[in-house]
Amino acid sequence: MRLIKCRKCGATIATDETFIQRMLDDINILCERAKKDKRNNQVYLQQAAAIRKIMQQYLHVTANMDEHKF
């Protein structure tokens, strides 16, 4: 378990570490590929941005669900 602060609402949540870590690893891989491949770097950066947005939405929804439970 890992405590993470939601960027939208500021709530602190406990999340499954493997899911978040996998998303962060994917973002790092895409950023490294963007540095190496100058021709297609915008594609890799857009994919990384999409994963960041999905992660932010996941954390916000999780924070809202935890807030309504208690």
Q: What are the pLDDT digits (tens) for 23-56?
A: 889 999 999 999 999 999 999 999 999 999 998 8
Looking at residue 70, what is its pLDDT? 60
Looking at residue 19, what is its pLDDT? 80
**Number of C-beta neighbours around residue 63 at 10 A:** 21
Regarding pTM above 0.85, the answer is no
Inter-residue contact 62 to 15 (CB < 8 Å):
yes
Read off the pLDDT of each residue in 11-16 and give the average, rounded to a whole number.
71
Is the per-residue pLDDT at 1 higher than 70? no
pLDDT band per the 50, 70, 90 thresholds, residue 66: low
**Torsions phi, psi for 7 (to 5 deg):** -75, -25
